[in-house]
A and B are shown apart, each in its own frame.
Chain A
Amino acid sequence: MRIIAHKFKLHKAGNRAEEYEDAMHGGKVMLGGVPHYRFAVADGATESPFSGLWAKILVHALTDGVFDEGMSESDLLTLRRQWEGQIPSSAMPWYMEEKLREGSYAALAGLILVPKQGHPDCGIARLRTVGDCCIFQIRRKGMRSFPLTKSSEFNSRPQLLGTAHRALPPGSLLTREWEWKVGDTFLMMTDALAAWFLQKKESGDPAPWEWFDGAPNSDKEMRWFEEAVESERGEGRLKNDDVTLLKICIAK
């Protein structure tokens, strides 16, 4: 079994590239001699300070296995302190002091692929989400999504993971287990692209995932993605926000 991961991203129109506040990461880890794969995407909240930094800390935590068994308060506290430690410590204007007091926020989605013992071509997919980043599984001509299943479910007030030292409300972390097998594709997206994707399906497109296969070749796929997203934004079909896509193909 081979994992082929494609990463796509584009910052919000009107912002500079360095103002992109999503994050994604993925990789293989050997556990007991067996390869496991962990992938994560996160979406830093627009109004939060240093939210891109918080999103990066969260995706690395997930791919390091911190959330394999759940999301404990002590794990979150460690990550919060990590964020605080990376904030510039020089004297800040009054509004940054207040902003930092409010803290930073992000949505997170994680995917952990665990092969079945003795069967490397199939296994269990463990999904972990807080907020409205979404994971889609594509198999032949079918698709399922988690945690949101309709474009109407997206709103401006999802549950988010914050750096302020408060307990995560019960029910914030959503988990699911699916089965995977060779030939499956997983798509992980932050909210703007996920909502657009679901809307495309709802509008009658039987295979919206084929849209992501439109790149002329692998060398040009990022440029193709950027132009395609800009076109969708221009037509008003895709909300102007940072866009992130992690496409995971499971091959033999």
Chain B
Amino acid sequence: MPYTAEISRNNPSLVIFLIDQSRSMGERLGSGDDRRTKAQCVADALNRLLQNLVIKAAKSDGVRDYFWVSAIGYGHPVGSVLSKFPSHNPVPISKIADSPLRLEQRVRSNPDGESQQVKFPVWIDPKNHGWTHMCAAFQLTRDIVQAWARERSRSFPPLIFNLTDGGATDGDPSLPAQDVMSAVTEDGPPLIFNMHISSHNQQSIKFPDSPSGLPEAHAERLFRASSTLPESLVALLQATGEPARSGSRAMVYNADLGSVISLLNIGTSAAHLAGAR
């Protein structure tokens, strides 16, 4: 059965983030008192996700390299958004853990309603400059996953999360995305999740199983660039009330930030640690 390989230090999982850093990401996404731009919201969400991956892998004796991570921005230029790791090649999670740009002090409410000061690590700063070179980002991704699949053929398939607010300006991204999906491991093809965020009040589309009904051409291209959800993820999404079904694609369009964060969390939970509860 695909997508069941256990994840361990000997058999780590690869997670790749593709982040739209084009000029339009400087528009405001938040509503009401939340004046954050799309770039700020996305950077915040990814920093939080990286924090969760580090904590998931942390044990008494340090951070175990269950995950390797690559984070590629595409605006101008196209390349790694992890300042301390200028190459786009994957970095083990232990090195990410030890290398945030800074630790911010933030206030968090715990389940009992009490507030506490916590350290929030920041690896990615928001940026918006240039056009939407999504194809170039997928081409870099193709090179990464092909090398990974050659060297780690028994690993859980790579997970790729693409966060964007518009269409690619350098071609049809579904073509290099198909190349990415063809770099299979013994446990199945890579999973590409495409998350389109919008600051306009438009109807969101979640997990479509057909391109018909999608509002515009670049939505259809994103559909073709998205993986079919494995049944295990369909079940997880349905359990959280999401409208996923057999044959759905890993795609949300005109989504709000909450939906994006939810999909990031569920998508990364697809890779279960060996023996983990």
Interface residues of A (CB under 8 A from B): 12, 14, 19, 45-47, 49-50, 93-99, 101-102, 105, 156-158, 160, 166, 192, 239-242
Contacts and interface: CB of A to CB of B under 8 A. Distances in A.
A95 B63 contact: yes
B155 to A, nearest CB: 13
B266 interface: no
24 contacts: A12-B274, A12-B275, A14-B9, A14-B10, A46-B273, A46-B274, A47-B56, A94-B100, A94-B103, A94-B119, A95-B58, A95-B97, A97-B119, A98-B55, A98-B118, A105-B277, A156-B272, A156-B276, A156-B277, A160-B277, A166-B112, A192-B275, A240-B6, A242-B275
A241 B56 CA distance: 17
Contacts of A94: 100, 103, 119, 121
Contact of B275 (A93, A102, A105, A240): A240
Given A47-B56, A95-B121, A99-B55, 10 more contacts: A14-B9, A14-B11, A19-B61, A45-B276, A47-B273, A94-B121, A95-B51, A95-B54, A95-B63, A157-B277
B60 A47 contact: no
Contact of B60 (A50, A105, A166): A50
Nearest to A88: B60
A158 to B, nearest CB: 7
Interface string B90-115: 00000001101001000000011000
Contacts of B272: 156
Interface string B20-62: 0000000000000000000000000000000100111011110
Interface residues of B, number: 29
Contacts of B58: 49, 95-96, 99
Tell me what chain B mostly uses at the interface: helix, strand, loop, or mixed: loop
Given A49-B60, A98-B118, A14 B8 contact: yes
A47 B121 contact: no
A94 B55 CA distance: 9
A75 to B, nearest CB: 21
Contacts of B8: 14
Contacts of A50: 60
A166 B97 CA distance: 28
B277 A45 contact: yes
Interface string B252-277: 00000000000000000000111111
Given A14-B9, A95-B54, A158 B277 contact: yes
A75 B36 CA distance: 47
Contacts of B276: 45-47, 156
Nearest to B54: A95
Nearest to A158: B277
Interface string B49-81: 001001110111101000000000000000000
A197 B63 CA distance: 33
Contacts of A45: 276-277
Contacts of B60: 49-50
Interface in B137-166: none
